[in-house]
Amino acid sequence: MKGVPMESIGTFILDQVLKMQWLSELIAALLGALGIDAAGQWGGTLHFFIYDTVKIVTLLCVLVFAISYIQSHFPPERSRKIMGRFKGIWGNVVGALLGTVTPFCSCSSIPLFIGFTRAGLPLGVTFSFLISSPMVDLGSLVLIMSIFGPGVAVAYTVVGLLIAIAGGTIIQRMGMEEHLADFVRGDAPADAELLSMTVAERLAYARKETWGTFKKVFPYILLGVGIGAFIHNWIPAEWIELVLGDGNPFAVVLATLVGAPIYADTFGAIPIAEALYYKGTGLGTVLAFMMSVTTLSIPSLTMLSRVIKPKLMVTFLGLCIVGMCISGYVFNFLQPLF
């Protein structure tokens, strides 16, 4: 594309590929053809619901397929071997980075956490993985970019990784291995031969993972989009501003605590966050809410409570909540830069 500025190409990719503005315009036109005003309250609710659902499902399927194909080259045994080469804080860095290419929800990260722990990896490294896996992944990077732009997406990813690295490092320094359940502290399994897969087998694996993930998260996408559509079109901006606006110094803390009981992954949290943001909620408050929803869901904490003892659970929760709140206030302060 000679003569076309790179900025124009980037804008096109962001607006038409990630944000899918063409889809928004198409849905508005179709609703108009049916006599429904997409700018009205009911029409706007319907437009938001259809547009966000189709956009998120499309991105979900494309991203999960691509990432699953990549993951087929890194089964748990190979990942364990890679992570085992790094010591100290570098192990935490690798653990956090590995979490970015692993499952999309906290519940599916816990079995890998158990496997890595039983394999003899340092506790801090496994917790860096456990924190980053649901909070920061390639899917969230693309989805956040599609809503808030590349600057916010990159900043969110960096902060999420820093929380994961810091949390794992602190847990390691506290020497809390004795607070693991006994069955998790078993002997490391013997090395197994890595499965050699053909390209066709990897594609089949990626399709299977995509379909499995879609079936698991689609109900939560619908729920999240429904909540987002309701917030976007029916709750007055003044109400949102009163509770989660800059005038409330505890807005970030409140958003973090409110987000924890909600069970959703990035794909379900995005439409709620989008609606809150466009109603005037601070960027940091919205991102703290997203981090809490994806990392501290009740089902995942219930599963985790069977693996770690109460003292370690409280430490894990405290570190995550403090990290999310700090990042929320920092993002709110820096919001003018984005």
The per-residue pLDDT for range 277-330, each reduced to its tens digit, is 887 888 888 888 888 877 876 666 776 787 788 898 899 999 999 999 999 998
pLDDT in tens, 182-195: 766 554 444 443 45
Examine residue 303 and state whether it is found in any structural domain, yes or no. yes
- Rounded CA-CA distance 227/31 in Å is 21
Closest among 97, 103, 100, 96 to 138, alpha carbons compared: 100
- Rounded CA-CA distance 113/243 in Å is 36
| Cβ contact 64:104 at 8 Å | yes
Residue-range definition of the domain harbouring residue 119: 6-337
CA quadruple 264, 249, 144, 202: dihedral, nearest 10 = -40
pTM over 0.85, yes/no: no
| Cβ contact 331:284 at 8 Å | yes
> What pLDDT, on the 0 to 100 scale, is given for residue 165?
93
Examine residue 288 and state whether it is found in any structural domain, yes or no. yes
Sorted by sequence, the CB contacts under 8 Å of residue 45 that are 6+ apart come out as 229, 230, 232, 233, 234
> What pLDDT, on the 0 to 100 scale, is given for residue 325?
92
> What pLDDT, on the 0 to 100 scale, is given for residue 193?
38
> What pLDDT, on the 0 to 100 scale, is given for residue 315?
92
Examine residue 105 and state whether it is found in any structural domain, yes or no. yes
Examine residue 1 and state whether it is found in any structural domain, yes or no. no
Examine residue 278 and state whether it is found in any structural domain, yes or no. yes
Instruction: Pick out the chain residues at pLDDT < 70.
Output: 1-15, 18, 67, 71, 74-81, 84, 102-108, 111, 115, 118-119, 139, 183-196, 237-243, 245-246, 260-268, 297-300, 303
CA quadruple 192, 198, 200, 203: dihedral, nearest 10 = 50
Examine residue 71 and state whether it is found in any structural domain, yes or no. yes
Domain count along the chain: 1
Examine residue 275 and state whether it is found in any structural domain, yes or no. yes
Closest among 316, 239, 333 to 282, alpha carbons compared: 333
Examine residue 140 and state whether it is found in any structural domain, yes or no. yes
